[in-house]
């Protein structure tokens, strides 16, 4: 997982600032893809090369690298998340061939690089780093030294390299061209007037253009300031005119617009994201097909990773309870269990924010190869998983840049709830209750706003009480369990506090042994038939000295002696509650992280989209 | 970004009256600098150099606090009419031809990041205001927001976010004020007519309304100390114990056996006598005299105050020139909740306490052996 950017200009200074500064800005917007090292390479009009790279976060090393001091007509930049070779100055991208004629930045993994490297070393090539990337320039050099033209050499290299990757190449002999290739890992072209971009994601260049071409698997080609050439490895040249899309996000949307962190911005964007998703679902044309697919399915599986899996667990509850369709939720990396079980007539619901999560993609491919149909739920239009699926529903959360998923979770849950209600409506099951939930669902964006506005201050106060704790236990029953799991995940990943979720009924079978004076326990109390039971769980915990925090509907009065800190939420059905209850937990994780002095947008050891198994 | 700034540094500071002895609230010294200094420094970092400071007591502001960059152009304007509305109106001439201006409460002290967020946001949203998530909103101005984070209402009801006392506004707000509307009402009207974005801020922020808010300010400023700075012109006994970050200024004198547990601030020419204990978050301003065997914890001792001997001062503010005779004790644990608005909350060894000591007026002499109860104003 890394971010790459390439930009090529008709003449020096076309964008009104130095090319180094342009690349720095682009890399800043790609930082969510990795941030352990950065580097860039620039070519001037006569082919002079500047190559600078370093370990460390962009902001910290920008001055050292001196982005702002260099100008040119063509440049590439890279922000790295180490996979092969530890983060270091030499392992940072871009990498070059033996003579520094060919310069490459790469994202993803080349699985057969060791054998290629051995072969090249035998032929006399000198490798400087421990990365898999470095085989690309040397391989190109090897081919080009035999007189092969650059594009043909690129095609040959592309055939030789296995794995999931995307890369960009510049040549000192052709300072107005950037070559690129994509296999599985994303790569996007941005079209400008007298300049073109190639990048791992759209926000990188959104400041300069909103016209893009999303490259597909096995495509390669080059961009010059005025020309774009794309070919498919097997199918030949591509007609690009049909592929140009205009992005309606403004660059401002992809930035923080005054928020201290992307995560807080994205938490606050949830009411709007819910609203957009709900409106797009209401007008969704293919919904009938989706409903038919699920009603007629022999069995329904749900898969996802991390937060998407938690959304899947909530979806499992909805489909089972509201629509009467029992489902099998599983974590996508654990797919092997069902490998021989998927069959024709089965449906797999694959949930992935990015549409690129490798484990989920593998699960999709496994199920598909056995004849199962795939329904994808994703936030990124035209990404791999949606493209490989039979049917797709897109959440309309907008770009999510914070590594911890927030608005994509709530919009995924909303989508699954809407779907389940539509199914129950079309089969005439639980119709009275479903209609009530439906009415509540329409209010969910406003309810979400209300929850955030009326609780942010209190949650911030609570975060100060919890910031020095070693552990937090999150308990719930029924729908409260996946919410507790998602809340615990948020606390773990950005606040670095060990947090564990458990069904409250199970707490007697183990976790209660942990409880001592002041041990924080968060209870998720939904307005359902399980609330009496959960009250006795609270009693158990409080009597052992736990610091009890409750998330409960405002109309339920909890005895003061039982609760140390109460967060009140709007009274609603438990199904809709699954969307609103996660908001205070997201805020809690955020504020604990900020109070402890961490950067919630960049949790250590994590990347936004996991594209390696 | 070129934007004019109006700082409202008037205001009677009613609840701080007995501490202030006629001086303006924004000139209370914390860590050796007046509160207004911290605002001005943040503005100068952002390149906001064109500043109008409205005050009812202009004479106090004539002397520019040391350390303010000379590039700042601060115009002092005398407040003509009472209240915050009158203060803002006094600056009308300076901003009426502008498209927008930054309005600041002089009583607010906050992190540089808050100013930066507002200025950053103003690049995308023409008008905006700072919103701070606070659990206890009593006595604060508040704002509410809609689904797109635009402000719907400013008020004094304890609902939504605290208004951060920082807003980018059109000069039209002046017209509304002239028609007799209150400031919150005018701001509400502006947000109905234009889109005013809420800028949510996650760091520390204090609007000095009650005397103990000053203790909160010194707490945050001291918490941000990352290193000690001890003047070579201070005289420190070799038998002093200093732990954690401290600032000790020129001319300070620390006698034998004193224990200073940082973070703490010891101002210019302060004297700390034999065997006294100065504990964390203590702020002793210039020319303060602390006799022997005193214990001071999380308190602000304002300029020239005198603490004689064997006193215990905790979570308290001692005013300018106040005198504490021997054996004065301040009690500070508040047992009944809700008795005092926004008291200080501390946790010690895993337990939580609500605390507030005494507020001792300027020039006050406290008789020997007095025991002051929590939150007592004397």
Confidence of residue A248 (pLDDT cuts 50, 70, 90): low
Asked whether the beta carbons of residue A258 and residue B120 sit closer than 8 angstroms, the reply is yes
CATH number at residue A128: 3.60.20.10
For residues A250 and A260, membership in a common domain is answered with: no
User: Which pLDDT score is estimated for A71?
Assistant: 92
Among all residues of chain B, which has the CA nearest to that of A252?
B124
Among all residues of chain A, which has the CA nearest to that of B143?
A453
**DSSP-based three-state secondary structure for A113:** helix
* Interface residue A445 vs chain B (CB under 8 A): yes
User: Which pLDDT score is estimated for A268?
Assistant: 92
The single-letter DSSP state of residue A238 is -
Among all residues of chain A, which has the CA nearest to that of B352?
A465
Least confident of A242-246, A277-281, A344-348, B218-222: A242-246
Confidence of residue B356 (pLDDT cuts 50, 70, 90): confident
For residues A51 and A192, membership in a common domain is answered with: yes
Q: Which helix (H) or strand (E) holds A176?
A: strand A174-183
A316: left (phi over 0), alpha (psi -120 to 50) or beta: alpha
The answer to the question of residue A127 being in a domain is yes
Asked whether the beta carbons of residue A257 and residue B146 sit closer than 8 angstroms, the reply is no
Tell me what the mean pLDDT of segment B216-241 comes to. Answer: 93
User: Which pLDDT score is estimated for B304?
Assistant: 95
SS (H, E, C) chain B: CCCEEEEECCCCCHHHHHHHCCCCHHHCEECCEEHHHHHHHHHHHCCCCEEEEEECCHHHHCCCCCCCCCCCEEEEEECCCCHHHHHHHHCHHHHCCCCCEEEEECCEEECHHHHHHHHHHCCCCCEEEEEECCCCCCCCCEEEECCCCEEEEEECCCCCEEEEEEEEECCHHHHHHHCCCCHHHHHHHHHHHCCEEEEECCCCEEECCCCCHHHHHHHHHHHCCCCCEECCCCEECCCCEEECCEEECCCCEECCCCEEECCEEECCCCEECCCCEECCCEEECCCCEECCCCEEECCEECCCCEECCCCEEECCEECCCCEECCCCEECCECCCCCCCCCCEEEEECCEEEEECCCEECCCCEECCCCEECCCCEC
CATH number at residue A435: 3.40.50.10490
The answer to the question of residue A605 being in a domain is yes
For residues A533 and A396, membership in a common domain is answered with: no
Task: Flag whether pLDDT at A348 surpasses 90.
Answer: yes
Superfamily of structural domain B222-372: Hexapeptide repeat proteins (2.160.10.10)
For residues A297 and A225, membership in a common domain is answered with: no
The single-letter DSSP state of residue A56 is S
Give the mean pLDDT of chain A. 90
Task: Flag whether pLDDT at A36 surpasses 90.
Answer: no
Interface test mutation site (partner A, options B1, B131, B149, max chain A beta carbons within 10 A): B149
Asked whether the beta carbons of residue B118 and residue A258 sit closer than 8 angstroms, the reply is yes
Token pair in block for residue A62 = 């920008």
Into which CATH architecture does domain B4-208 fall?
A: Alpha-Beta Complex (3.90)
User: Which pLDDT score is estimated for B96?
Assistant: 87
Asked whether the beta carbons of residue A258 and residue B202 sit closer than 8 angstroms, the reply is no
Is residue B191 within 8 Å of B185, Cβ to Cβ? Answer: no
Confidence of residue A510 (pLDDT cuts 50, 70, 90): confident
- The string of pLDDT tens digits covering residues A546-601 is 999 999 998 888 888 889 999 999 988 899 999 999 999 999 999 999 999 898 98
* Interface residue A449 vs chain B (CB under 8 A): yes
Question: Which of A230, A254, A278 is the C-terminal boundary of a domain?
Answer: A254
- The string of pLDDT tens digits covering residues B84-132 is 888 888 888 888 888 899 999 999 999 998 998 898 888 778 899 999 9
Tell me what the mean pLDDT of segment A36-42 comes to. Answer: 91
Token pair in block for residue B255 = 């006698």
Considering only the beta carbons, identify the residue of B121, B134, B144 that sits closest to A257: B121
* Interface residue A454 vs chain B (CB under 8 A): yes
Tell me what the mean pLDDT of segment A373-383 comes to. Answer: 86
For residues A426 and A348, membership in a common domain is answered with: yes
Asked whether the beta carbons of residue B147 and residue A449 sit closer than 8 angstroms, the reply is yes
Distance between CA atoms of residues B308 and B318, nearest Å: 13
Asked whether the beta carbons of residue B135 and residue A457 sit closer than 8 angstroms, the reply is yes
Least confident of A200-204, A254-258, A467-471, B189-193: A254-258
Distance between CA atoms of residues B108 and B206, nearest Å: 6
Contacts of A594 in chain B (CB under 8 A): 202-203
Contacts of B149 in chain A (CB under 8 A): 268
Among all residues of chain B, which has the CA nearest to that of A565?
B135
For tokens 């899309």, what's the residue?
A245
User: Which pLDDT score is estimated for B66?
Assistant: 65
Asked whether the beta carbons of residue A457 and residue B145 sit closer than 8 angstroms, the reply is no
Q: Which residues pair with B28 in a beta bridge?
A: none
Active-site amino acid positions of A = 2, 608
How many beta-carbon pairs under 8 angstroms link A with B?
71
Q: How many domains does chain A have?
A: 3
- What are the DSSP calls for A548-575, one per residue? EEEEEETTSPPPGGG-SEEEEE----HH
User: Which pLDDT score is estimated for A582?
Assistant: 96
User: Which pLDDT score is estimated for B350?
Assistant: 66
Tell me what the mean pLDDT of segment A375-380 comes to. Answer: 90
User: Which pLDDT score is estimated for A81?
Assistant: 74
Contacts of B145 in chain A (CB under 8 A): 449, 453
Tell me what the mean pLDDT of segment A481-500 comes to. Answer: 95
| Domain span holding position A41 | 3-254
Q: Which of residues 507-566 of A touch B (CB under 8 A)?
A: 517-518
Is residue B278 within 8 Å of B260, Cβ to Cβ? Answer: yes
For residues A41 and A29, membership in a common domain is answered with: yes
Question: Which of A213, A235, A254 is the C-terminal boundary of a domain?
Answer: A254
Number of H helices, E strands in chain A: 19, 25
* Interface residue A459 vs chain B (CB under 8 A): yes
The answer to the question of residue A536 being in a domain is yes
Q: Which residues pair with A374 in a beta bridge?
A: A348
User: Which pLDDT score is estimated for A220?
Assistant: 94
Confidence of residue A613 (pLDDT cuts 50, 70, 90): low
As to burial, measured by CB atoms within 10 angstroms (0-12 exposed, 13-18 middle, 19+ buried), residue B181 is: middle
The answer to the question of residue A234 being in a domain is yes
Alpha-carbon gap: B201 to the closest alpha carbon of chain A (Å): 7
Contacts of A456 in chain B (CB under 8 A): 133, 161, 200
The answer to the question of residue A451 being in a domain is no
Considering only the beta carbons, identify the residue of B117, B134, B144 that sits closest to A457: B134
Question: Which of A387, A412, A442 is the C-terminal boundary of a domain?
Answer: A442
Contacts of A458 in chain B (CB under 8 A): 135
For residues A293 and A401, membership in a common domain is answered with: yes
Asked whether the beta carbons of residue B134 and residue A460 sit closer than 8 angstroms, the reply is yes
The single-letter DSSP state of residue A504 is G
* Interface residue A456 vs chain B (CB under 8 A): yes
Alpha-carbon gap: A441 to the closest alpha carbon of chain B (Å): 16
Of B59, B123, B58, B315, the closest CA to residue B210 belongs to B315
- What are the DSSP calls for A417-483, one per residue? HHHHHHHHHHHT-SHHHHHHHHHHHHTHHHHHHHHHHHHHHHHHHHHHHHTT-SEEEEEESTTHHHH
A267: left (phi over 0), alpha (psi -120 to 50) or beta: alpha
For residues A266 and A327, membership in a common domain is answered with: yes
Asked whether the beta carbons of residue B160 and residue A449 sit closer than 8 angstroms, the reply is no
Residues of chain B with CATH 3.90.550.10: 4-208
Interface test mutation site (partner B, options A252, A260, A275, A601, max chain B beta carbons within 10 A): A260
Task: Flag whether pLDDT at B227 surpasses 80.
Answer: yes
Among all residues of chain B, which has the CA nearest to that of A595?
B203
Task: Flag whether pLDDT at A252 surpasses 80.
Answer: no
- The string of pLDDT tens digits covering residues A358-370 is 899 999 999 999 9
The answer to the question of residue A448 being in a domain is no
For residues A465 and A422, membership in a common domain is answered with: no
- The string of pLDDT tens digits covering residues B69-87 is 777 888 888 888 888 888 8
As to burial, measured by CB atoms within 10 angstroms (0-12 exposed, 13-18 middle, 19+ buried), residue A128 is: exposed
Task: Flag whether pLDDT at A518 surpasses 60.
Answer: yes
User: Which pLDDT score is estimated for A396?
Assistant: 83
Asked whether the beta carbons of residue B121 and residue A461 sit closer than 8 angstroms, the reply is no
Considering only the beta carbons, identify the residue of A453, A591, A594 that sits closest to B160: A453
Contacts of A518 in chain B (CB under 8 A): 350
Alpha-carbon gap: B98 to the closest alpha carbon of chain A (Å): 22
Asked whether the beta carbons of residue A258 and residue B147 sit closer than 8 angstroms, the reply is no
User: Which pLDDT score is estimated for A83?
Assistant: 67
As to burial, measured by CB atoms within 10 angstroms (0-12 exposed, 13-18 middle, 19+ buried), residue A175 is: buried
For residues A243 and A278, membership in a common domain is answered with: no
Alpha-carbon gap: B298 to the closest alpha carbon of chain A (Å): 19
Let me know the angle formed at the C-alpha of A474 by A470 and A475, rounded to the nearest 5 degrees.
Answer: 145
Tell me what the mean pLDDT of segment B145-170 comes to. Answer: 90
For tokens 């598909």, what's the residue?
A368
CB proximity list for B323: less than 8 A, separation 6 or greater: B305, B306, B308, B364, B365, B366
Asked whether the beta carbons of residue B135 and residue A461 sit closer than 8 angstroms, the reply is yes
- The string of pLDDT tens digits covering residues B247-282 is 999 999 999 999 999 899 999 999 999 999 999 999
For residues A14 and A66, membership in a common domain is answered with: yes
Task: Flag whether pLDDT at B1 surpasses 60.
Answer: no
Residue ranges of chain B whose CB lies within 8 Å of a chain A CB: 113, 117-118, 120-122, 124-125, 128, 132-137, 144-149, 159-162, 197, 199-203, 347, 350, 352
User: Which pLDDT score is estimated for B335?
Assistant: 82
For residues A188 and A288, membership in a common domain is answered with: no
Contacts of B121 in chain A (CB under 8 A): 257-258
CB proximity list for B169: less than 8 A, separation 6 or greater: B100, B101, B103, B127, B129, B187, B190, B196
Contacts of A271 in chain B (CB under 8 A): 147
């Amino acid at each position: 997982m890394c971010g790459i950017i390439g930009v090529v200009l008709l003449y020096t200074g076309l964008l009104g600032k130095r090319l180094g500064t342009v690349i720095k800005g682009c890399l800043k917007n790609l930082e969510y893809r990795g941030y352990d090292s950065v580097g860039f390479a620039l070519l001037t009009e006569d082919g002079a090369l500047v190559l600078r790279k370093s370990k460390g976060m962009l902001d910290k090393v920008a001055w050292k690298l001196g982005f702002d001091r260099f100008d040119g007509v063509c440049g590439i930049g890279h922000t790295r998340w180490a996979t092969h070779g530890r983060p270091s100055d030499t392992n940072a991208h871009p990498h070059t061939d033996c003579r520094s004629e060919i310069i490459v930045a790469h994202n993803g993994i080349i699985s057969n690089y060791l054998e290629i490297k051995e072969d090249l070393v035998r032929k006399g090539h000198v490798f400087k780093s421990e990365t898999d990337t470095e085989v690309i320039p040397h391989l190109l050099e090897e081919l080009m030294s035999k007189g092969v033209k650059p594009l043909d050499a690129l095609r040959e290299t592309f055939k030789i390299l296995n794995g999931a990757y995307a890369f960009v190449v510049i040549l000192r002999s052709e300072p107005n061209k950037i070559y690129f290739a994509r296999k599985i890992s994303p790569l996007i072209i941005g079209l400008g007037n007298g300049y073109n971009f190639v990048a791992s994601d759209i926000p990188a260049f959104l400041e300069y253009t909103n016209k893009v071409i999303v490259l597909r698997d096995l495509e390669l080609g080059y961009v010059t300031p005025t020309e774009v050439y794309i070919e498919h490895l097997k199918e030949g040249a591509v007609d690009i005119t049909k592929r140009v899309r205009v992005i309606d996000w403004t660059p401002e949307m992809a930035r923080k617009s005054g928020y201290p962190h992307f995560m807080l911005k994205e938490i606050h964007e949830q009411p709007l994201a819910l609203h957009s998703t709900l409106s797009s679902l209401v007008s969704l044309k293919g919904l009938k097909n989706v409903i038919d697919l699920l009603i007629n399915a022999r069995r329904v599986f749900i898969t996802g990773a991390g937060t998407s899996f938690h959304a899947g667990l909530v979806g499992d509850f909805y489909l089972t309870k509201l629509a009467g369709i029992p489902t099998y939720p599983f974590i996508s990396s654990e797919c092997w269990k069902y490998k021989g079980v998927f069959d024709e007539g089965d449906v797999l619901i694959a949930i992935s924010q990015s549409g690129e999560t490798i484990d989920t993609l593998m699960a999709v491919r496994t199920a598909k190869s056995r004849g199962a149909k795939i329904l994808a739920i994703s936030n990124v239009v035209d990404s791999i998983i949606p493209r490989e699926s039979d049917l797709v529903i897109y959440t309309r959360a907008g770009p999510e840049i914070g590594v911890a998923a927030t608005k994509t979770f709530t919009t995924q849950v909303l989508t699954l709830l809407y779907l389940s209600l539509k199914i129950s409506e079309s089969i005439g099951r639980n119709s009275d209750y479903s209609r009530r939930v439906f009415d509540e669902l329409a209010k969910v964006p406003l309810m979400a706003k209300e929850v955030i506005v009326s609780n942010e201050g209190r949650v911030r106060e609570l975060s100060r009480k919890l910031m020095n704790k070693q552990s937090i236990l999150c308990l719930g029953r029924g729908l409260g369990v996946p919410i507790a799991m998602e809340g615990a995940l948020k606390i773990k990943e950005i606040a670095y506090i060990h947090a564990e979720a458990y069904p409250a009924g199970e707490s007697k079978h183990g976790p209660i042994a942990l409880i001592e004076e002041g041990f924080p326990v968060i209870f998720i109390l939904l307005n359902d038939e399980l609330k009496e039971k959960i009250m006795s769980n609270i009693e158990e915990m409080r009597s052992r000295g736990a610091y009890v925090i409750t998330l409960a509907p405002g109309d339920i009065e909890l005895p003061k002696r039982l609760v140390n800190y109460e967060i009140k939420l709007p009274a609603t059905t438990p199904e809709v509650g699954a969307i609103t209850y996660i908001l205070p937990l997201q805020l809690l994780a955020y504020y604990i992280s900020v109070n402890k002095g961490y950067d919630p947008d960049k949790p250590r050891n994590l990347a936004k989209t996991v594209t390696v198994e | 970004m070129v934007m004019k700034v109006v700082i409202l540094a008037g205001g009677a500071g009613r609840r701080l009256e007995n501490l202030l002895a006629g001086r303006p609230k924004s000139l209370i010294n914390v860590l050796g600098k007046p509160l207004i200094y911290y605002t001005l420094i943040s503005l100068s970092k952002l390149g906001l150099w064109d500043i109008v400071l409205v005050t009812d007591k202009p004479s106090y502001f004539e002397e520019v606090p040391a350390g303010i960059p000379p590039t700042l152009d601060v115009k002092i304007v005398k407040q003509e009419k009472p209240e915050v509305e009158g203060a803002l109106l006094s600056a009308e001439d300076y901003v009426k031809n502008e498209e927008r201006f930054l309005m600041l409460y002089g009583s607010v002290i906050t992190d540089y990041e808050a100013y930066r967020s507002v200025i950053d946001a103003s690049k995308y949203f023409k008008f905006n205001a700072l919103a701070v998530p606070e659990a206890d909103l009593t006595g604060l101005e508040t704002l509410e927001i809609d689904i797109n984070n635009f402000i719907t209402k400013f008020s004094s009801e304890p609902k939504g976010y605290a208004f951060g006392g920082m807003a980018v506004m059109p000069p039209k707000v002046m017209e509304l004020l002239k028609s007799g509307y209150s400031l919150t009402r005018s701001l509400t009207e502006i947000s109905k007519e234009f889109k005013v974005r809420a800028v949510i801020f996650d760091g520390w922020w204090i609007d000095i309304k009650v005397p103990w808010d000053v203790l909160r300010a010194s707490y945050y400023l001291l918490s941000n100390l990352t290193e000690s700075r001890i003047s070579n012109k201070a005289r420190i006994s070799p038998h002093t114990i200093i732990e954690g970050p401290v600032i000790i200024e020129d001319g300070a004198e620390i006698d034998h056996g004193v224990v200073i547990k940082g973070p703490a601030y010891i101002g210019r020419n302060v004297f700390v006598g034999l065997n006294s204990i100065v504990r964390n978050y203590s702020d002793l301003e210039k020319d303060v005299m602390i006799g022997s065997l005193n214990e001071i914890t999380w308190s602000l001792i304002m300029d020239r105050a005198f603490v004689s001997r064997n006193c215990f001062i905790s979570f308290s503010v001692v005013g300018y020139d106040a005198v504490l005779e021997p054996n004065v004790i301040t009690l500070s644990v508040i047992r009944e909740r809700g008795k005092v608005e926004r008291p200080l909350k501390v946790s010690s060894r895993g337990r939580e306490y609500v605390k507030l000591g005494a507020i001792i007026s300027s020039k006050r002499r406290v008789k020997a052996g007095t025991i002051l109860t929590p939150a007592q104003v004397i």
